[in-house]
A = this chain, B = another copy of it.
């Protein structure tokens, strides 16, 4: 993907910077950008809500339960655990860098983070609450009432404010400064020979057709099982559930490969435990290519260079319930 730059533009840049900029532009993966236009008050409120299990019926499950920010923004189990230990139908995608996704959920049924955030709260198999009940809880907690008023300027809390705040916090969960980004930015010793060989294979074998851009994925829907069918251990049918089109069956949002070392197990059904296994299956099913053991190891080595700085923040302290706060219902019907 060579591009030419007008000599006059090049002349405006210093020599090395121009070469670096040119090199980075030539790559199908782009440096991840820090979040911009962030409302910090909303972030602090959203962070509390993200960690607050009182948004669930049981009082036990928060956003962070399944999108655990200590563990790559996921739960590291094949499919998640919901209210009363219900087994979820699909692997929890990482929340890290999710603001870069073309849409949210594996089937893209939510347009953005705000729309996504309301889903699990009201899903009977996940947090098993309702938006109305969640608002009742929040409005009974003086600390939240004050903070919502400060951020949104209103005496009433509504679900739009809740999901806006959670989404604003999630927008901050980008992971810059991976070794691969350092390399893209010109630090040529950031990657070793094996990792570079892996990246060449990743490009030349066709992986980048889907895994590209800032998030190394997340920007398109693609069929799982192009060359060979994928025998999923999950009933999820992907994009067709949203579009109703048979052609979209088993089309799933391409997952980001940022921090992929931390987001095991892999695929929408969480059936692949290791990167080695995932690379092997992807090669065969999507590309019709059987990577050798050495090639596989090189690609895995490259993938591990995509681990960036993890979100760093103080554990939020949640405002206590009041006497009138509806109590959680962890047991019983």
Contact = CB atoms under 8 A, between A and B. Distances in A.
24 contacts: A51-B70, A52-B70, A53-B71, A54-B76, A58-B81, A60-B65, A60-B81, A70-B318, A72-B320, A77-B330, A81-B330, A84-B85, A87-B330, A264-B320, A265-B327, A273-B323, A274-B323, A275-B323, A312-B314, A312-B315, A313-B315, A314-B314, A314-B315, A315-B315
Q: When A and B form their complex, which 8 residue pairs have the shortest distance between CB atoms, in order from nearest?
A: A85-B85, A274-B323, A310-B317, A262-B320, A70-B318, A77-B330, A59-B77, A315-B315
Please tell me the size bucket of the interface on A: 35 or more
Contacts of A313: 314-315
Contacts of A262: 320
| Identical copies in the complex | 2
Contacts of A265: 327
For the complex, would chain A's binding face be called helix, strand, loop or mixed by DSSP majority?
loop
Nearest to A48: B70
A316 interface: yes
A328 interface: yes
Nearest to A58: B81
A75 interface: yes
Interface in A58-102: 58-60, 65, 68-72, 75-78, 81, 84-85, 87
A228 to B, nearest CB: 24
A321 interface: yes
